[in-house]
Amino acid sequence: MPHVGVLGAGAVGAYVGARLLAGNVGEGAVSDLKVTLVGRESLLDAVEANGGVLVTHTIAGERADHVQDDHFVVTKDVGALADAEIILVAVKASHTEGVAKQLRDLFAASPGAAGPQRTIISLQNGVTNARILREIINDEKVAVLAGSVVFNVVWAGADFSQTTSGDIVVQDGPQASLFGRLSTRGGIPVVVQPDITALQYGKLLINLNNAVNALAGIPILDCFKDPGLRRSIALSIYEAIDVLSRAGIPIKSPNKSSIYMLPRLFSLPDCLFRIVMPFVIKIHPKAKTSMLQDLERGRTTEIDLLNGEIVRVAKEHNLEEPFVNATLVRLVKEAESRGSPKMDGEQLLSLLSPAPKAKH
Ligand SMILES: CC(C)(CO)C(=O)C(=O)O
């Protein structure tokens, strides 16, 4: 019976864990599965208040599955992952180093508890997590695979709803195909690829909309109705593509549409945007980016690893500071202490246009 652990069972982590169970336990299941969700007190409380049941809604709403806690464990204790063959890391990118140290110590204290091989799959936003986990854990019996979740999840109580379409992409390696099979049976298709770095940068470009969404403070669909907010997203993506290409970093789309089309799509006038958008991605009216959800929960965001990564790459390659993304980093950092400023498109666009240089 495979044991899959989720370390950082927030919106995405608990959703993926619950979908694995929905597709792989009970009547007609091909394999039996044990899932351990390591999360915060709020998850434990929500599951208890819901009679030990987790509910998941897939994007089209065609499936609402209930999984009972005789199939899973929810806990705050990382030690519960000692015998997990596969550990999905879904903590915020700012916590990667901390959990890597916890896992390193756990594995050192329980060698062999999960058999000859452990696999860690990073399901986090950003491009550096798998490397950090690999470097800190530094154990030849532990494979660390990069991964990327290309959809959004909104969490309320013990209810987890997938609110945009998209798959999971995972770097090939030990147990990647087992995870892929389990997840696909649970209704989340997994694409396994030998190297996913270019795809991770592609996902990062999609994630640049998180900052605009967080500053607007409204659901993604409402955000996309404002041409100024759409233009702000387009500007940040154009600028990022420019920085990454000048730095020689390849970019590949993690979904079916071309990543280079994305800023053009966001620059379309309302009437065209409304026609084209549904062909690119399905979005539920409740969808809010993880960055806005973080601001609403009073947490620090992943801004440094998203728009901040573009600023970092520019600096590393001695390029001019990317004004739009640097400004978004500054504004989101201010919002982390004050809450979302709930800007409209015109307000945000005016801040994203550099002041004209003084004439001598
Ligand atoms: C909404 C989505 C899918 C893309 O920005 C996301 O990854 C997030 O919320 O972090």
Write the DSSP assignment of 198-244 as a string of letters. Answer: HHHHHHHHHHTHHHHHHHHTS-HHHHHH-HHHHHHHHHHHHHHHHHH
Domain check: are 204 and 190 in the same one? no
> Of 207, 208, 237, which is best to mutate to test ligand 1, by the most ligand atoms within 8 angstroms of its C-beta?
207
- Which numbered atom of ligand 1 lies nearest the CA of 220? 1
Domain check: are 162 and 249 in the same one? no
CA separation for the pair 274, 46 (Å, rounded) = 37
CA separation for the pair 245, 226 (Å, rounded) = 29
Question: For residue 31, what pLDDT is reported?
Answer: 59
Question: For residue 356, what pLDDT is reported?
Answer: 67
Pairing of strands 64-68, 53-57: antiparallel
CA separation for the pair 137, 119 (Å, rounded) = 12
What is the Cβ-side half-sphere exposure of residue 54, based on CA atoms within 13 angstroms? 29
C-beta atoms surrounding 82 within 10 Å = 18
Domain check: are 217 and 178 in the same one? no
Q: Is the dihedral of CA 10, 12, 14, 17 positive or negative?
A: negative
Number of domains the chain is built from:
2
For residue 263 the two structure tokens come to 């800023």
Domain check: are 183 and 249 in the same one? no
What pTM, to 2 d.p., does this model score?
0.93
Q: Is the CB of 175 under 6 A from ligand 1?
A: no
What residues make up the domain containing 343? 197-352
Largest Cα–Cα separation, the chain: 78
In a domain, 357, yes or no: no
Choose one of 194, 218, 250: the last residue of a domain: 194
> Of 91, 123, 218, 289, which is best to mutate to test ligand 1, by the most ligand atoms within 8 angstroms of its C-beta?
289
Choose one of 194, 215, 246: the last residue of a domain: 194
Domain check: are 303 and 252 in the same one? yes
> Of 91, 163, 164, 230, which is best to mutate to test ligand 1, by the most ligand atoms within 8 angstroms of its C-beta?
164
Helix (H, G, I), strand (E, B) or coil at 186: coil
Domain check: are 13 and 134 in the same one? yes
Domain check: are 130 and 223 in the same one? no
- Which numbered atom of ligand 1 lies nearest the CA of 164? 3
Domain check: are 20 and 118 in the same one? yes
Tens of pLDDT along the chain (360 residues) come to 789 999 999 999 999 999 999 988 876 665 579 999 999 999 999 999 999 999 999 886 666 889 988 889 999 999 999 999 999 999 999 999 999 999 999 999 999 999 999 999 999 999 999 999 999 999 999 999 999 999 999 999 999 999 998 999 999 999 999 999 999 999 999 999 999 999 999 999 999 999 999 999 999 999 999 999 999 999 999 999 999 999 999 999 998 888 999 999 999 999 999 999 988 888 999 899 999 999 999 999 999 999 999 999 999 999 999 999 999 999 999 999 999 999 999 999 999 987 766 665
For residue 200 the two structure tokens come to 């991770």
In a domain, 160, yes or no: yes
* 294 CA → ligand 1 middle, Å: 12
Choose one of 149, 167, 194: the last residue of a domain: 194
User: Which CATH number does the domain housing residue 214 bear?
Assistant: 1.10.1040.10
Instruction: Tell me the ipTM for this assembly.
Output: 0.96
